[in-house]
Amino acid sequence: MLKFPADFIWGSATSSHQIEGAALEDGRAWSIWDAHAHTPGRTKNNENADIACDHYHRYKEDVKLMADMGLKAYRFSISWSRIQPDGQGKVNVKGIEFYSNLIDELLKYGITPWVTLYHWDLPLALHTEKDGWLNPEIANWFAAYAGICFEHFGDRVKHWITLNEPWVVSILGYSQGVFAPGRKSKNEPYQVAHQLLRAHGKAVQLYRTKYQPTQAGQIGITNNCDWREPLTDSTVDTEAAQRSLEFFLGWFADPIYFGDYPQVMKDRVGDRLPKFTEEDTAMIKGSSDFFGLNHYTGLYAADVDPNADVKNEVYGNGGIFEDQYVQLTADPSWKLTTMNWAILPWGCRKLIEWISNRYDNPPLYITENGCALDDQLINGNVNDTVRQEYIESYLAACHKAIENGVNLKGYFVWSFMDNFEWALGYSKRFGIHYVNYDTLERTPKKSALWFAEVIKNGGFTFSQKGIEI
Ligand code: GAL
């Protein structure tokens, strides 16, 4: 049996925009994602999250399902425009009430809330009136909003995550334009990333000076990264894989752990990469009490001659190709999920070992991991064997990493339930609970029942012979 440490955090995650619905109820205003999804052609079948899983009205039922499976921790996010409809100023009491009730409901069952302050749903007014993440002032707006959350929820919330996946905000939102706010630029992603880091730093500074001394919680950031395996053992491909990881994860983690962007980014992006002031560096360096990681998949990385006519067509995975010149490919033998993401548990192990080595073995939490499948509800059951195997093999890889010295302290399955998968609408099911979108009824999938056993036993017997971890 693969046993995990007794204090290992077993959790599951969601985000506000993907599950809540009640888009205009009780004083909430639109976020950039409401606007994006309501713009024809931006999401699959023009679907939006006006109702989503209707979690806003069904949170008690959802928390009960969490309790039923013995979940120790639940990671959710707060919708900024539910708390501050305009993103600044006036506070919406009904919004405070909703999250306060949700937190109480979780605590009633002994489930620890892990709260993300920003999971991509910027109040629309901040974007249309103030240029959103491009405006350096946003660090102040974000810190003010964070302060409201610390003030109202910090007596009960002891685990804060400032931002979810700033890489996605920057690249999918401002380079590829497939996510809100749908912009396509070669410069803006670097400017936006810079402001995201500053906003994170400012919120952490506020928490540490004003709230942490009495509330005694932890605060950090969650970044996402896929693994990059060198295509060959040549020096150039090994360097390409390393470069790709630094453009992906080092972009955000290096400033937090070392105080500046990776040298390879400074060399290649040049003047398009903003510079931190001394004040910024002081605020950002050391600003995470733990390393939050969202991880799903990986690809081969190979060096590309800048003069060769090669384009990188891998959806959402490459960053800005011309700044990196790394060709990403998948091995045809790799099994894929319905996102076309390869199932690579060994990539998860290698990535967390890479993080551990580079950043001096920080306490690490996998704040998202999971997969999308074509789940079918048949006679009240969803036999999502592939998801169970996916989670099992990734956890086995995590276990091996822990044995190798990685300070991994928790794991959150993405997602607690099927939900609005951004530009892909409701077409991708990531949940360990099935959601019938006609009736909004929830059903635990086989993976949820299996995960409940894992939590109960603090581990599992790894049944998949011959799977590389
Ligand atoms: C993450 C994101 C989640 C979820 C997941 C699956 O990048 O944080 O919101 O959508 O991917 O695609």
Full residue range of the structural domain in which residue 173 is found:
2-460
Q: What distance in Å separates the CA atoms of residue 76 and residue 371, rounded to the nearest whole number?
A: 18
Q: In the block, which residue shows the tokens 């983690």?
A: 253
Strand order in the sheet with 227-230: 227-230, 298-303, 326-329
**To test the ligand 1 pocket, which listed residue (294, 339, 365) has its Cβ within 8 A of the most ligand atoms?**
294
- Predicted confidence pLDDT, tens digits, the chain (469 residues): 999 999 999 999 999 999 999 999 999 999 999 999 999 999 999 999 999 999 999 999 999 999 999 999 999 999 999 999 999 999 999 999 999 999 999 999 999 999 999 999 999 999 999 999 999 999 999 999 999 999 999 999 999 999 999 999 999 999 999 999 999 999 999 999 999 999 999 999 999 999 999 999 999 999 999 999 999 999 999 999 999 999 999 999 999 999 999 999 999 999 999 999 999 999 999 999 999 999 999 999 999 988 887 766 554 467 999 899 999 999 999 999 999 999 999 999 999 999 999 999 999 999 999 999 999 999 999 999 999 999 999 999 999 999 999 999 999 999 999 999 999 999 999 999 999 999 999 999 999 999 999 999 999 999 898 999 9
Residue 468 domain-assigned (yes or no): no
Does residue 328 lie in a domain region? Answer: yes
User: Is residue 188 annotated as part of the catalytic site, yes or no?
Assistant: no
CA-closest candidate to residue 75, choices 420, 409, 398, 414 = 414
> Which ligand 1 atom sits nearest the alpha carbon of residue 224?
7
Asked if residue 233 belongs to a domain, the reply is yes
Looking at the CA of residue 422, tell me the nearest atom of ligand 1: 10
165 is catalytic: yes
DSSP 217: -
pLDDT number for residue 316 = 45
The reply to whether 334 falls in a domain is yes
Ligand 1 neighbour 419 (Cβ under 6 A): no
Residue 306: predicted pLDDT: 86
Q: Does ligand 1 have an atom closer than 6 angstroms to the CB of 287? A: no
The verdict on residue 135 lying in a domain is yes
Is position 469 within any domain?
Answer: no
Pocket test for ligand 1, best of 17, 163, 221, 368 (most atoms within 8 A of CB): 368
CATH number, position 430: 3.20.20.80
Q: Who contacts 153 (Cβ-Cβ below 8 Å, separation ≥6)? A: 99, 100, 103, 115
SS3 408: strand
The pLDDT value recorded for residue 308 is: 80
User: What's residue 312's pLDDT?
Assistant: 63
What is the count of structural domains for the chain?
1
Q: Whose CA is nearest to atom 10 of ligand 1?
A: 421
Q: How far is the CA of 204 from the centre of ligand 1 (A)?
A: 23
d(CA 120, CA 202): 18
Q: pLDDT digits over 118-166, tens only?
A: 999 999 999 999 999 999 999 999 999 999 999 999 999 999 999 999 9
Contacts of 244-250 with C-beta under 8 Å, sequence gap 24+, read 244/301, 244/319, 244/324, 244/326, 244/328, 245/351, 245/354, 247/319, 247/323, 247/324, 247/326, 248/167, 248/319, 249/167, 249/223, 249/224, 249/225, 249/355, 250/358
Q: Judge if the beta carbon of residue 15 lies within 6 A of ligand 1.
A: yes
Can you give the pLDDT at residue 318? Answer: 79
Please state the φ and ψ torsions of residue 380, each to the nearest 5 degrees.
Answer: 80, 5
Q: Kind and range of the H or E element at 219?
A: strand 218-224
* CA–CA separation, 143 and 145 (whole Å): 5
Whether the model pTM is above 0.85: yes
For ligand 1, whether the C-beta of 414 sits within 6 Å is yes
Rounded to the nearest whole angstrom, what is the distance from the C-alpha of residue 251 to the centroid of ligand 1?
A: 19
Q: Find the 53 Cα to ligand 1 centroid distance in Å.
A: 16
Classify residue 466: in a domain, yes or no: no
The Å distance, Cα 253 to ligand 1 centre, comes to 19
Q: What is the pLDDT of residue 314?
A: 57
Does residue 286 form part of some domain?
yes
Over residues 338-385, the pLDDT tens digits come to: 999 999 999 999 999 999 999 999 999 999 999 999 999 999 999 999
